[in-house]
Each structure stands twice: as structure tokens, then as C-alpha cells.
Amino acid sequence: MVESAAGLQERLDGGQLKRWQFWLGVVISVAFLWFALRSLRLGDVWQALQHARYVWLLPGVAVYFIAVWARAWRWHYLLRGLKRIPTGRMFPIVTIGYMGNNVYPARAGEVLRAYVLRKKEGVPISASLATILVERAFDGVVMLAFVFLNLPELSALGGDSGLALSIRTLALWGAGIFMAAVVAFVLLAINPAFSMRAAGWLIDRLMPQRFRSPAEDLTRRFLSGLGSLRSPADVLMVLVTSTVIWLLETGKYWFVMHAFPFQVSFFSLMLMNGIVNLATTLPSAPGYIGTFDAPGIAVLQAYGVEGAIAAGYTLVLHAALWLPITLLGAYFMFRGRLQWGEVRAEMVEESEA
């Protein structure tokens, strides 16, 4: 947030992004895929894919796009203190961001949608990034709630060890991180004047003179993006909306399940949803290859689903989550005549403003 223009340009031009971050993600993805498929016969997985009833993907994709529309509404709500933008205009921007997360490494889609919002609506990138961080923190809280709600059932299935214990450990660490983020954002939003003074005190003591003014401007715009968290009612609204979004996304898991010969409860799919989305916060190759698939297969196997069927279902679900939103986001990006090179230039302009 307080990076120099030159440093930001170097990072966005991809030195680190195109090298160690990318290759680290590839290595992690390969490791997760090996872990997921090492004990399976690929012929059995292929047979499960051949016999799937793919018509069930249609209602799954439909309910997923309703969830994306709800995400657009939530972002519209978070941004209303900066600018009131109709949800219909937010939806294409959100889909572009999803497309960016699916095809670029390091969740670059978040930067991409902040850029598109700046280009289309004039909202400062630093302010919109603050609202995106708020979204992610609340998403994390809801996903962890899904995990904790269903851990007793999973522990009963697999004993108090193995996968259940690993998930509990991951959930406890994740809960601490995401709850701390939510509390920090709320505290920053409650008293922006004090937050600005505290940030100014740190900037004056830690940064060279020539960077202090740009850093203070970026901090001020970032704090303005937290304005929607200044009342308990707003915090509750964001939390409720986040819960609805993730329940709708679990609905897609439920519809796609009917394409395969197994049945688990909706609550079991809530657990799977929470775990795979927590795992996708790890570095990976673009599209969350491996980090989505391995934990999804493992959870279903813990519920007694045969490995080849669990793998076939998870791979189809992953594709159904990835392909439609990526195609729609690419369409909106093409229609808007947007290019990734423009994003780099815009970010540098924002840091120098």
C-alpha cells in the first residue's frame, strides 16, 4: 500500500510474479495433484467421467451465477460510501475479476477488478482494494463457520485423528487469521481520524521523506474504502450476504453431485466447500489446480465415497466452477477492450497520484 512507484512497476512487470511465485505455485499444484491421484486408477476415474449425467451442470451453473450476482450486490453495498454504483454495472466487473483469478497467478484478478472499477467508475484503486480485502476476510469467516459446523460429523466418521484432526488444526489457525483481519478492519473503520494519525506516525518514522506524502494519500484512500464497516448493522449485512453467497455456491456442489452415483448431505458439501476454498488460498498454478482437487477428493473419501467417483466429481465440479465464469469474464474484458498491460500502468499512476 505504501510501495514506491518504481517498486510497484517492477513487481507488476512481473520479475517476482513471473518467476518464484509462479513456479512455487506450479510445484505446489503438482504436489497436491500427486497426493490426490496417487492411489487411484485413472481408468476408473475416466469411467466415472464417462457415465456422469452432465445435464445436472445446468442448474449448478445457474445457481452459481446467482451467487456471483450476490457478490456484485455485496461489493455495491461495500462501495456505496465511495460511490453508489448499480449492481448491474458491478456484475461484469466482478466476473472480470473471477476470470483474472482463474487465469493469472497470485490472485491477480483482485487487482484487475479494482483497475476496471477505477477505469469505469472512477473509484480509487486503493479504496476499492480495501473493500476487496473486507470481502475476503468475511468470506474466510463464513468458510470457517462451514468447517466448524460440520467437524463433529467428520470426526465421528474418521475418528479423532487423520484428516479430521488436520482440518481442525487448519481451521483453528484460519479462524484466528480471518477473525483478526475482520476485527482490524472494523477498528480501523470505527475511528478513521485516529487510524490516519497512527498511520502517519508510522510513515513519518519508517519511510524516507520523498515517499511520505504518497503513502499518506494511499492510506487515506484505503481507509475510505472501509467506511461500510462503521456501524454494526453494516457489518451484520455483509456477514449475512457472505453467508448467502457461500450457501448458493454450495448449492452448485449439490446439483453437480447428482451427476454422479453417490449421495452425501448438504452439510457435508458445506464442509467440502469450506475446506477446498481455504486450501485455494495457498499458492498454486492459475486456476487453483491441485489445491482445489486434493482436499475435495479427500473429504468425499472420508465420507465413504469411492475414490474414482470422488475424483471424477471433484474434477467436473472444478471445471464447472472455472470455465463458465472465465468465459463470461473474458467476454466482458474483450468487450471493454481491456488489457493486462493497462493494469500495470494504472497501478503505477495510482501510486503516484
Q: pLDDT tens, 96-123?
A: 999 999 988 777 889 889 999 998 999 9
Give the pLDDT of residue 85.
95
CA distance 33 to 285: 11
Could you give the count of Cα atoms lying within 13 Å of 216 in the half-sphere of its Cβ? 18
- Gyration radius (Cα) of the chain, Å: 21
Give the pLDDT of residue 161.
45
Under the banding of pLDDT at 50, 70 and 90, the label for residue 348 is low
pLDDT of 173 over the 90 cut: no
Asked if 343 contacts 111 with a C-beta cutoff of 8 angstroms, the reply is yes
Under the banding of pLDDT at 50, 70 and 90, the label for residue 344 is low
3-state secondary structure of 74: helix
3-state secondary structure of 146: helix
Give the pLDDT of residue 282.
85
Grid coordinates representing 31 are: 504436489
pLDDT of 327 over the 90 cut: yes
Grid coordinates representing 208 are: 524516507
Under the banding of pLDDT at 50, 70 and 90, the label for residue 241 is very high
pTM: 0.85
Under the banding of pLDDT at 50, 70 and 90, the label for residue 9 is very low
Which amino acid, one-letter code, is at 319? A
Most confident of 119-123, 213-217, 311-315: 311-315
